[in-house]
Structure 1
Amino acid sequence: MSSDEQRRLGQLRDNLAAVHERIARGCADAGRDPAEVTLVVVTKFFPASDVLLLHRLGVRHFGENRDQEAAQKFGEVRAALSHAGEQEPVLHFIGQLQSNKAGHVAAYADVVQSVDRPKLVTALAKGAHAHDRRLLVLLQVSLDGETSRGGALPEELDALADAVAAEDLLDLRGVMAVAPLGADPDASFARLREVADGIRSRHPGATWVSAGMSGDLEAGLRHGATHLRVGTAILGSRPSLL
């Protein structure tokens, strides 16, 4: 390993440890077990080499939000790990997804966290069948009524959940949301928890709540987040901004 790789490994190790400490404290404050929480490290804009270093540090869940970048990067990552006989990562697609790209995403993603309309359900199901793969699905919820940034309105979710559940290669696992800009994350995630409870009452297997990022993961934990999506706090600023 080169000196640059060793330095980067040390940075990632320190940042990852700091985030795990935040999760431990947040869970303690909320009376929760950290083992209930899955950390999804968001690696968009960062190279495959960083993913492999994080994998070496024990990270297994990764998040990406751009189809072309994710497909290329994780093709490289999986090839390298397979060659080394290492466990494959779990890839979460977390970005807004166009229905005409859903079939391609279905070929490599394990989880799609951003399902927000029936047309996307249909396209993902078609892609899952074409590639003979089962996909785990989260419904993205808009918490401020603004759907242009992705997310379905809460009143649309029952029908959307039923649409996912009707597809044999799509597994409905729960909900995801981003706290609206400028909003109180506690209030936002409390609302998400209500929505999640409603979905789970009709679909008992939908137990995941993806809420909380680098700046608000503690609020997510206070309101039942099972999955945290953390990028900057672990990887630093985007490479294009360095």
Structure 2
Amino acid sequence: MKKGILIIGKRKFGRADELEKVLTAELGTNRESIRVDKIDSQHVILDGLDERLNSTTLTELMTGILELMPHARIVATLDSIESLAQEDLEYAQKHFDILFGIGTGRFVEFNEDEVILDGLPIRMYLLEESPWTPQFFQDINESTLRKAMTILRNLYGDEVTIEHLNDLLHNRNHQTEKMIKESLEHFEEDSHERYMLDEARIWFANDYLTGAKGSRTATETYDRTGSLRAIVHRLYQRKHG
């Protein structure tokens, strides 16, 4: 069992029923208010960590608490995920169940394979931006994101940035075509990684790019993934504005 729960986007939760269900399941019906810190042998409730993280890190804070009370469960809340440094987010993913608010009364759990670039969870922002988008379009956006990351990780390894993703999705200065051509082919011929890379490269070249280049035979994929491009571009501008 993980050490506790980290709730991100508390303002979106407010007094929503879904948050109440989470806290009741975790702390019981006689719990104190989430708005008041509570520390005992069983639970540590830390509300609104954003300001505290100006002077310490989440990793240091949680590690210190768990050294004193190794058997306690921690329930912590943050207003914004951008209060976390990337290493803190990686620590939280490993040790805590993370719930991310995507609208009033709605939250989603972080997947273990969440796409995090420059400390920003791209898939979570996509869901937050359009929580009521039909599943069909959510699936197309997420599939496009996964294929893009397959190519980028092949090129840049762990150094992939939001700028790389923005360039690939928008085909800036024909970057998508260049990235497809430059994708390294260092996998064994029959490896799963090689198969996934080839699939992503072929799909971008023969499907996604037909719309990006305005081909007369273009598929509808490029138009259907406009929300993904808009979100990635906004996050890129926020980082480099």
Does the TM-score normalized on the shorter chain lie above 0.5?
no
Which protein has the bigger helix share? Answer: 2
TM-score by length of 2: 0.26
TM-score by length of 1: 0.26
Larger radius of gyration: 2
